[in-house]
Structure 1
Amino acid sequence: MKKFTSIVTDFNNHKKDIATFFQGKFISDDYIKIESDVAEGFIIFHKLSDNDHFIVFNIQLKDDVEYELDYSNAEHFDRLAAFFNNETYVKSIDEETDQLIQYDGFYTCDKEVRIKGKIKKGDFLQHISFFHTTDIFDNYINEKVRNYYKTQKHFLIYLDNRSELNNFKKTLINIFTYPPEILNKVLKIKLHELKYILLARLFNLDIDKLSTKNTSISNYHLKIIFEIRTSILEDLREKPNVGDFITKYGIHKTLLQSLFQETFGYTIYNFFTAQRMEKTKEALIDKKMSTTEIAYEYGFSDVQHFSKQFKKFFEQTPSNYFKKFNIK
């Protein structure tokens, strides 16, 4: 087991600590090639501006690694968004309980945190960290959402079943196979895209349904709501029965809905609806089923019901969606 610890003060300090630990070689100022007894692969650094930058990891571990990063003294950013996380624990400086992060999507926090975790030998670390100031929201996020975001020490937004992040990750894995001179150029474009995926998700937060307090969901409750999420995704034909969840887990309805909303940005029913409609849209693009078959597959009473719900959700009918994307 190798241990990586770093007290991050600025971007260059962070780069050097990472390069030293993984025994990597700087091919350029923003590209580290790693072929060591710790890992193999590469790490890329990309600056959008003096205060906004990404770190992209694409490495396979050759030994077990335990890490702990302290960002509380960092001067180069206000907040961090972490995408495609392996099992990671996060703790604010003034909190006692570690928060477990182990699902696709993104975790966002201010810099008053310590992040720690373990990666096993043979595991792939394909992770992206986005360090930024709150200025990036000024032209895109309304004041209500911006103020909410700024007051939260840390919170979780999971997008692992949203098509935009799924598609991004699939493309990213393919891009990782490009030659370095091409990879670097293409990746910089994709990182700008990821920034706007983050902004779009924050833009759509329903602040009125979220708690305005700084909250940290316990790992016990997090496990429950992810089990509920999994059961919903396993059968998108049937509307979820909240009463069954309450009985199974012995949790109060108000608390359950609040925790689910805090984590996924939707009530349980609205999460089900959003996921179901996203799947019907993907099915239309896939072209393997007719509109009638899609309606049946996802539990709509008939094609008319499906068409009405699709238009309500996407502001266009399924047939117009076909035409818009030249699907024949």
Structure 2
Amino acid sequence: MDKKRRKNNLTYKEMDNAQKTNTLYTVSELINTYDRCGISSKKFQFLKDYGVGYFLKHKFEGLSITIFDVLFEKDLRIEGATSRDFLEMSFLIEGEQIIRIDGISKDLIYESQECYLLYLERIKGSISYHKRKRLKEVKVRMSKEFIKRHRLDEEYNILETHSLLKLKENFLKPLCSKTQNILTEILIDKRNGLLKRLFLESKVLELVALKLEDTSKQSKTNHITATDHIVKKLYNIQHLISSDLSKQYSIHDLSRRVGINDFILKKEFKELFGKTIFEYATELRMNKARQLLLHSKKPIYEISELVGYKNSTHFTAAFKKIEGITPKKYRTKLSSENNLS
């Protein structure tokens, strides 16, 4: 961590002297508020001296979701303390933060494309941001009442296994593709009132389920040899593949994009995800193909292009190898079964 002690010509000492007493509400102004069906939504715009952008906060029944999107104009340090215990998830889509927590000796550098799930017990500390760096983050806080209502602590003992005091520094994880897809849904959603509340609660529970599933898998699998730096790049590869299935990437293309040797990329990807890059991509393509065959009237040649096959004959051969029948027969079979039911 010492090698990261200077970023953008800013030292920790300089951070200490920058905006010591700021809170989010002293560097922003309320520009919009909306209360309906038990959900309160407030949008704050950052003051021009501090940055260009906003943060949006939704609150209801023990759940708080805050979305940040801002480009800071100056180095900024936000201080605060919590009066209650809560479970917190953060997803840093873009940006960098230096987090200091009283009682933990080392500063934590929280970087783009990372996330965490933590149980926080009345902590005090600060978060520092760098000027000319965009911050895009989704932060979720769940009260003990919310945790109890959804029985989140019954099977996984979530409050103990994800306690900050227990985990100390080893809690930052890369963003996986499924998580990024859910975050995208949250960021583009335009619902209000009851629909917004139901939507946000369901998405938060999806995100919690993914984190618990990931924790469970890690406890059962062998130790992954890749360093944290490489693991982060592997998740970037996973997201790159899944975000646009119409594109086919060679191993060489992928290795160049993230700066990993071809051999290491293939070896570590299989170690982390339990399948080769080709197997992973093919599984995603066939899953999407099944959905399109069942829920759309698109012709086979168009579906083949959407899932990354320029030649529909190659798509048909690949599909038949997995399903045992051609895409056309698969669609006909499912249609007849649905009609009978």
Deviations 1:186-208 (A, max 9, x none): 54333212212213323543724
1:44 aligns with 2:61: no
Deviations 1:47-89 (A, max 9, x none): 322xx422234x554x524444567x52323332124632123
Q: Which residue of 2 is the match for residue 21 of structure 1?
A: 27
Q: Which residue of 2 is the match for residue 82 of structure 1?
A: 90
In 2, the alpha carbon distance for the partners of 1:69 and 1:21 equals: 9
Over alpha carbons, which structure has the higher Rg? 2
1:19 shift after superposition: 1.9
Secondary structure of 1:75 counterpart: coil
Secondary structure of 1:120 counterpart: coil
Change (3 A) 1:208 1:197: closer
Once the two structures are aligned, what percentage of the paired residues are identical? 11
**2:73 partner amino acid:** D
Change (3 A) 1:210 1:290: farther
In 2, the alpha carbon distance for the partners of 1:249 and 1:91 equals: 35
Secondary structure of 1:85 counterpart: strand
Q: Which residue of 2 is the match for residue 64 of structure 1?
A: 73
1:154 aligns with 2:163: no
1:189 aligns with 2:193: no
Q: Which residue of 1 is the match for residue 151 of structure 2?
A: 139
Deviations 1:223-267 (A, max 9, x none): 5424643675577768969xx899817759886655x45xxxx65
In 1, the alpha carbon distance for the partners of 2:65 and 2:173 equals: 19
TM-score with structure 2 setting the length: 0.57
**1:198 partner amino acid:** L
Q: Which runs of structure 2 are paired with 1:275-294 in the superposition (5 Å)?
A: 275-277=284-286, 279-280=288-289, 283-284=292-293, 287=296, 289-291=298-300, 294=303
Q: Which residue of 2 is the match for residue 11 of structure 1?
A: none
1:130 aligns with 2:143: no
In 1, the alpha carbon distance for the partners of 2:262 and 2:157 equals: 32
Q: 82-91 or 142-151, which moves further after superposition?
A: 142-151
Report how many aligned residue pairs link the two structures: 288
1:248 aligns with 2:264: no
Q: Which residue of 1 is the match for residue 182 of structure 2?
A: 165
In 2, the alpha carbon distance for the partners of 1:89 and 1:194 equals: 25
Change (3 A) 1:288 1:127: farther
In 2, the alpha carbon distance for the partners of 1:211 and 1:282 equals: 31
Q: Which residue of 2 is the match for residue 53 of structure 1?
A: 64
Change (3 A) 1:54 1:185: same
1:209 shift after superposition: 4.2
Specify every segment of 5 or more residues in structure 1 that has no aligned partner in the other structure, as ranges: 8-16, 176-182, 310-316
Answer yes or no: is the 8 Å Cα contact 1:292–1:302 preserved in 2.
no
Q: 27-36 or 37-46, which moves further after superposition?
A: 27-36
Q: Which residue of 2 is the match for residue 303 of structure 1?
A: 319
1:46 shift after superposition: 0.7
Secondary structure of 1:168 counterpart: helix
Secondary structure of 1:194 counterpart: helix
In 2, the alpha carbon distance for the partners of 1:321 and 1:69 equals: 56
TM-score with structure 1 setting the length: 0.58
